[in-house]
Amino acid sequence: MAAAAPPLLVFTDLDGTLLDDAYGFAGAELALAQLAEQHIPLILATSKTRAELTGLAAQLPGVPGLIFENGAGITCPGSEGPQTTLFGPGYAALLATLKSLGPSAAPFEGFAALGAARVEALTGLAPNAVPLAMAREASEPGLFHGDEKALARFRAALAPHGLRAVHGGRFLHVMPERDKVDGLRALATLLAPEAATLALGDGENDRAMLETATFAVVMPRKDGTCLALKRAEGVTIAPAPGPVGWGPAVLALLRALPPSP
């Protein structure tokens, strides 16, 4: 007998959402266990690389798919195992494009230019985790040292190459014209087209995913601010940043779901 389709698919951001500053998920354990018990898939939707997610996904229950590098790549189940799809020109070509832009790209300092030591200092990652964060496949995060006018020029220069610049937490991400929401749609169609979707996130790079999902949980930031969505229906604000707020928010949503037939 085929397994029953899940009533819900959960798409979650990581940093500041499911993960705390120490890259742990203390406070979310009960909700994670409840998702596993109800066979509800958990999809990681993040700016992190696929290399970073491999170990993390193994620690979490029921992760059938990944949306990595802000949607520039997705991994989904396939007949012969996980299948990964990358979008855009690829990392090497993206770096070459940035170099070709000259003055327009000068205020942008990507991971490749920052180097491992500065990436470690900026992110607080352990030294052995830094190479995983720098194992980019389709996008380049970094620092932007210019003002809003310089950022507008940078974005205008990227556009003819099918690239854009999106804020995600502490970094500006140069990436193809893809978004986490594209991954949400693709994986939802593949995994359970009739299921409701829940998205959780705290950053501008989560906006489209939060606006599109059936239910959205906006995670407050440590400074007390929250991302403001255009929608109001189906939206809740988590009680706290990180996994301490993620857990109760997910449990509340699960309690509100109609019972499975």
Cα angle, residue 256 at apex, residues 254 and 261 outer, rounded to 5°: 80
Q: Is the pLDDT of residue 126 over 80?
A: yes
Q: What pLDDT is stored for residue 55 in this prediction?
A: 87
Helices (H), the chain: 29-37, 50-59, 91-100, 111-123, 130-133, 148-158, 180-191, 207-212, 242-256
Average pLDDT over residues 101-105: 93
User: CA 96 to CA 225: how far, in whole Å?
Assistant: 37
pLDDT tens per residue, range 7-59: 999 999 999 999 998 889 999 999 999 999 999 999 999 999 999 998 889 88
Q: Is the pLDDT of residue 260 over 70?
A: no
Question: Average pLDDT over the chain, rounded to whole?
Answer: 93
pLDDT tens per residue, range 226-244: 999 999 999 999 999 999 9
Average pLDDT over residues 72-78: 91
**Threshold 0.85, pTM exceeds:** yes
CA atoms within 13 A on the CB side of 211: 15
